Amino acid sequence: MSTPTTRALSGKALAGVIRQRAKDEARELENEGAHPSLAVVIATDDESTHWYVRSIERAAEAAGIGCRVIDLGHDATEQVLANVLRDLSAEPSVHGIILQTPLPGGVRTDALVGLIAPEKDIDGANPLSLGRLAVGQPAFAPATARAVVEILDHYDVPVAGRSVAVVGRSAVVGKPLALLLLERDAAITVCHSRSGPLERHTRPADIVVVAAGRTGLVNGSHISPDTVVVDVGTNVLPDGSLVGDVDGASVNGIAAALSPVPGGVGSVTTALLLLHTVEAARQQVPLLENA
Amino acid sequence: MSTPTTRALSGKALAGVIRQRAKDEARELENEGAHPSLAVVIATDDESTHWYVRSIERAAEAAGIGCRVIDLGHDATEQVLANVLRDLSAEPSVHGIILQTPLPGGVRTDALVGLIAPEKDIDGANPLSLGRLAVGQPAFAPATARAVVEILDHYDVPVAGRSVAVVGRSAVVGKPLALLLLERDAAITVCHSRSGPLERHTRPADIVVVAAGRTGLVNGSHISPDTVVVDVGTNVLPDGSLVGDVDGASVNGIAAALSPVPGGVGSVTTALLLLHTVEAARQQVPLLENA
């Protein structure tokens, strides 16, 4: 008797493919005389945030995409942040804007994200982007939410007519992912810490996406055989290592597939920020082909 | 052996309570020197639409709320509609705006609803309203979606920690209702015509809300005993009579409760448009109490 094998849904190869698409598109835009460019606004001393922003910078550079990091310091006021976001939204040479969290205490993130021009909102932070997704208008989804869909597509996991349970109701993953998958004809269940026993919702699902931010929240007892599990969690342990929301050891051998952390959804997310930037640039730059 | 009784979740008494609340609040606003007022923009010859708008007008009048109907005719252009919506959004004496469908052919409803000032968007038509609901910012939900929540509240049907299946994924009911109920700590499943067998999603649910626009879509075979069923359907039969999406005869005796059509959700919806208007006016009119 052998234990069934749980397939690892690595995001690394897919991230490479998406980066290459972004690079090719960036080159095409350059040939048309446009220079796709991204701005990241940061206002924190947090080291891991700076590390993350540098990784975006490096990835953008490697793809031929301009990346301007605007570091306003940990004591930036809401007014200063607002002015910068307004300027970047109006600046024709910037095609994508990321407002990096965390922000200084007392600053209203809600008020600021609404200032990011929707056509430059490449991480779907402006509520208008979420609303447009909901009504089927063109908009950028948060890159993490789209990363889940791209991983399912990459591994040929069908979603139309199937039942997807999303654990977590955040505006960054749970809700936009539900909207993206509804658009793909899935039935969507969104459950969370207050919606009763998790397994009531996760066991009947064909696909379970976990985005709750709690280490080991989902284990083998929550999953039916042959379920596809996507782990969106990125929890930093005291020793600095990164783990997801899924107890991989207990899910392996039960689930049909599981995305690893690290090396799963996260790898794809950064690549999608680049792809969104060139997509945004393509929409903002008038086509020159027929000129 | 007796057949269990299915409780009828009539919306009529509740609609009366909500109308009275709107009336009381309108009177208070008048006492403070403000005159709450609603504008309905219409551009169709459709008789039932005119009938519906007159019913809003009468209800507003009875509640002491001003109601201006702006009939632009069935051949109104998008430009004319856009100008009117911009003017009303900027007009301080108007606190609520409804853009009534259907609109003339070729007119892009999507583009127009985005012109309704969010603070006056009392029927949650602007995608920004939906996005704000999704991120927990203050916004008006579509009145029909809120009507479902109000009916559940009125009949003391708890939603926190319970499982709600919403049949239908429209931007007017399914999606905003999912957001409202997630906010209330329910687990939400959204299913639809392409998400596979309905009963897979409706049978395990504690509450089933049907908003698909298909006569008789849900019958007794889709429902478990003791389920609470809310019927949002409003289908006009060839003989002119109004029926919901639920086959009441077959659900009665199985469900714990069922909202009737007519006399259920629909009655509450119009009342909520009035309540939203006074709520909008309250937010837009500076408080005079402390003056």
Task: Please list, residue by residue across A94-105, b when 16 or more beta carbons sit within 10 angstroms of its beta carbon and e when fewer do.
Answer: bbbbbbbeebbe
Residues of A in contact with B200 (CB under 8 A): 163, 187, 204
Q: How far apart are CA A237 and CA B129, in angstroms?
A: 38
Which amino acid is residue B35, in one-letter code?
H
Taking only residues 13 to 52 of chain B, the set having a beta carbon closer than 8 angstroms to any beta carbon of chain A reads none
CB nearest to B169's CB, from A132, A161, A182: A182
Q: Mean pLDDT across chain A, nearest whole number?
A: 95
Task: Provide the ipTM.
Answer: 0.94
Tokens 């687990």 identify what position? B187
CB nearest to B135's CB, from A127, A185, A192: A127
Domain with residue A196: its CATH number is 3.40.50.720
User: What's residue B290's pLDDT?
Assistant: 46
Regarding whether B96 and B204 lie in a shared domain, the answer is no
Regarding whether A221 and A118 lie in a shared domain, the answer is no
Q: What is the DSSP letter of A244?
A: -
Residues of A in contact with B201 (CB under 8 A): 163, 187
Annotated binding site of B for NADP(+): 168-170, 234
**Cα nearest neighbour of A128 on chain B:** B128
Regarding whether B261 and B160 lie in a shared domain, the answer is yes
Annotated binding site of A: 168-170, 234
Residue B16 falls within a domain, yes or no?
A: no
- Give the model confidence (pLDDT) of B213-246 as tens digits: 999 999 999 999 999 999 999 999 999 899 999 9
Q: Cβ distance A38 to A100 under 8 Å?
A: no
- Give the model confidence (pLDDT) of A57-86 as tens digits: 999 999 999 999 999 999 999 999 999 999
Residue B231 falls within a domain, yes or no?
A: yes
Domain with residue A86: its CATH number is 3.40.50.10860
Task: Check CB contact of A127 with chain B, cutoff 8 Å.
Answer: yes
CB nearest to B127's CB, from A131, A185, A196: A131
User: What's residue A287's pLDDT?
Assistant: 55
Regarding whether A160 and A112 lie in a shared domain, the answer is no
Residue A260 falls within a domain, yes or no?
A: yes
Taking an 8 Å cut-off on Cβ atoms, the answer to whether B187 and A195 are in contact is yes
Q: Cβ distance A125 to A99 under 8 Å?
A: yes
Cα–Cα separations (whole angstroms), residue A21 to A143, A273, A286 = 15, 12, 20
Residue B166 falls within a domain, yes or no?
A: yes
- Give the model confidence (pLDDT) of A244-287 as tens digits: 999 999 999 999 999 999 999 999 999 999 999 999 999 998 75
User: What's residue A56's pLDDT?
Assistant: 96
Taking an 8 Å cut-off on Cβ atoms, the answer to whether A194 and B132 are in contact is no
Regarding whether B247 and B190 lie in a shared domain, the answer is yes
> What is the CA angle A188-A171-A269, rounded to 5?
90
Task: Check CB contact of B129 with chain A, cutoff 8 Å.
Answer: yes
Cα–Cα separations (whole angstroms), residue B89 to A91, A131, B84 = 27, 19, 8
Annotated binding site of A for NADP(+): 168-170, 234
H or E stretch including B97? strand B96-99
Which amino acid is residue B242, in one-letter code?
L
Q: Best mutation site among B189, B194, B200 for testing chain A: the one with the most A CBs within 10 Å?
A: B189
Q: How far apart are CA B134 and CA A127, in angstroms?
A: 7
How is the beta sheet containing B96-99 ordered, strand by strand? Answer: B66-71, B37-42, B96-99
Which amino acid is residue A156, in one-letter code?
D
Regarding whether B62 and B92 lie in a shared domain, the answer is yes
Q: How far apart are CA A213 and CA A168, in angstroms?
A: 8
Give the model's confidence band at A291: pLDDT under 50 very low, under 70 low, under 90 confident, else very high: very low
Nearest to B37 by CA among B260, B245, B280, B199: B280
Contacts for B220-226 with beta carbons within 8 Å, 24 or more apart? B220/B247, B220/B250, B220/B251, B220/B253, B220/B254, B221/B250, B222/B198, B223/B251, B223/B254, B223/B255, B224/B254, B225/B4, B225/B254, B225/B255, B225/B256, B226/B255, B226/B256
Taking an 8 Å cut-off on Cβ atoms, the answer to whether B189 and A189 are in contact is yes
User: What's residue A250's pLDDT?
Assistant: 96
Q: What is the pLDDT along chain B (291 residues), one digit of tens a residue?
A: 456 799 999 999 999 999 999 999 999 999 999 999 999 999 999 998 999 999 999 999 999 999 999 999 999 999 999 999 999 999 999 999 999 999 999 999 999 999 999 999 999 999 999 999 999 999 999 999 999 999 999 999 999 999 999 999 999 999 999 999 999 999 999 999 999 999 999 999 999 999 999 999 999 999 999 999 999 999 999 998 999 999 999 999 999 999 999 999 999 999 999 999 999 999 998 755 444
Task: Check CB contact of B186 with chain A, cutoff 8 Å.
Answer: yes
Cα torsion angle, A132, A136, A139, A141, sign: positive
Residues of A in contact with B108 (CB under 8 A): none
Quote the domain boundaries for residue B45.
25-121
Taking an 8 Å cut-off on Cβ atoms, the answer to whether A187 and B196 are in contact is yes
Tokens 């026993």 identify what position? A197
Q: Cβ distance B96 to B37 under 8 Å?
A: yes
Residues of B in contact with A175 (CB under 8 A): 134, 179, 182
Q: Best mutation site among A175, A198, A207 for testing chain B: the one with the most B CBs within 10 Å?
A: A175
User: What's residue A2's pLDDT?
Assistant: 55
Q: What is the DSSP letter of A140?
A: P
Residues of A in contact with B208 (CB under 8 A): none
Report how far apart the first and last C-alpha atoms of chain B are (Å, whole number): 67
Reduced to 3 states (helix: H, G, I; strand: E, B; else coil), residue A38 is: strand
Q: What is the 3-state secondary structure (H, E, C) of B141-164?
A: CCHHHHHHHHHHHHCCCCCCCCEE
Regarding whether B150 and B108 lie in a shared domain, the answer is no
Taking only residues 143 to 182 of chain A, the set having a beta carbon closer than 8 angstroms to any beta carbon of chain B reads 160-163, 169, 171, 175, 178-179, 182
**Cα nearest neighbour of A186 on chain B:** B195
CB nearest to B187's CB, from A127, A179, A196: A196
**Domain edge (last residue) among B90, B121, B152:** B121
Which amino acid is residue A105, in one-letter code?
G
**Domain edge (last residue) among B61, B91, B121:** B121
Tokens 């982007």 identify what position? A129
H or E stretch including A261? none
**Which burial class, exposed, middle or buried, applies to A279 when counting CB atoms under 10 A from its CB (0-12, 13-18, 19+)?**
buried
CA dihedral angle for residue A74, residue A80, residue A86, residue A87, rounded to 10 degrees: -90
| Count of domains forming chain A | 2
User: What's residue B240's pLDDT?
Assistant: 87
